[in-house]
Amino acid sequence: MREGEAEQVINFFKAREMNAKLVDAADEFFDALKGFVDPEEKRKAFRNTFYAVLARVVREENANYLVQGTIAADVVETVKGIKTQHNILEQIGIDPGSYGLTIVEPLREIYKHEVREVARSLGLPAEFSERPPFPGPGLATRVLGEVTRERVEIERRATKIVEEETAEIESFQSMAVLMNDRATGIREGKRAFGYTIAVRLVKSTDAITAEAVNVPCEVLKRIEKRITTEIPEVVHVLYSLSDKPPATIEFQ
Ligand code: XMP
């Protein structure tokens, strides 16, 4: 999750007197992702842990159903074989019952802009209905190569900077992505192999196609300065110019 996000979500429900409980399963996810670099293998390792953890919580809480926010784009992309979204089971021949779960997905047949319409018509606050999409596997989706605690922390700090600096720019999603290879840089006059962060902002309505946002150069420079100053492990910052297609919104 992003910095402070778990608390924000819990507080949103608590403020509405809904019974929300935070489950910290970070160790299980990091253990499951250990050693994987292939995006599909990482997605599958994430999916198995995700449903195993949820099945355990459902059992412990004596709940009858798992309700999740799968939307049409998740189904379409997985069925087309573009990527295995973590929340798709039945459509690719996995029985949710094998995890001991009965899953309810009320939004499965509609796209993101239609989901927002439903949220607005239910009178949900804008904080909820206008929330930018964020992938289920969270920041792990935006860490190329191995997903470790150290690398996710770098990604989390870069994400915070990008989100702060682009808050006023209209976009569907705004993100930082941690690249896999080390790049050569200079720190204190000496060679320093560091990380590369890619910044990506896209416009979209349904997440099936997207267009890279024309971010003003001075904003990009500000992001670059903050990232390389506040995160010394990073020595290069890039901007992604690619639309979807041929790129996808996320890098993996
Ligand atoms: P892509 O990268 O496929 O993303 O162009 C389309 C939309 O889906 C989100 N996304 C995911 N959401 N589980 C999710 O819940 C996933 O595994 C996943 N992968 C991508 C992405 O953020 C974008 O909104």
Ligand 1 pocket check for 137: Cβ under 6 Å:
yes
3-state secondary structure 28-49: HHHHHHCCCCCHHHHHHHHHHH
Ligand 1 pocket check for 73: Cβ under 6 Å:
yes
Does residue 182 surpass a pLDDT of 90?
yes
Note whether 177 and 198 are within 8 A (CB): yes
* Ligand 1 centroid to residue 36 C-alpha, Å: 19
**pLDDT recorded at residue 159:** 98
Mean pLDDT of the chain: 95
Ligand 1 pocket check for 86: Cβ under 6 Å:
yes
Does residue 86 surpass a pLDDT of 90?
no
Give kind and range of the element (H or E) at residue 75: helix 72-79
Q: pLDDT per residue over 137-177, tens digit each?
A: 999 999 999 999 999 999 999 999 999 999 999 999 999 99
Note whether 194 and 214 are within 8 A (CB): no
> Helix crossing, 149-165 with 217-230: angle to 10°?
150
* Ligand 1 centroid to residue 249 C-alpha, Å: 7
Average pLDDT over residues 73-102: 88
Does residue 128 surpass a pLDDT of 90?
no
**pLDDT recorded at residue 208:** 93
Ligand 1 pocket check for 69: Cβ under 6 Å:
no
Average pLDDT over residues 3-13: 92
Residue 17 burial by Cβ neighbours in a 10 Å radius (0-12, 13-18, 19+)? exposed
**pLDDT recorded at residue 235:** 98
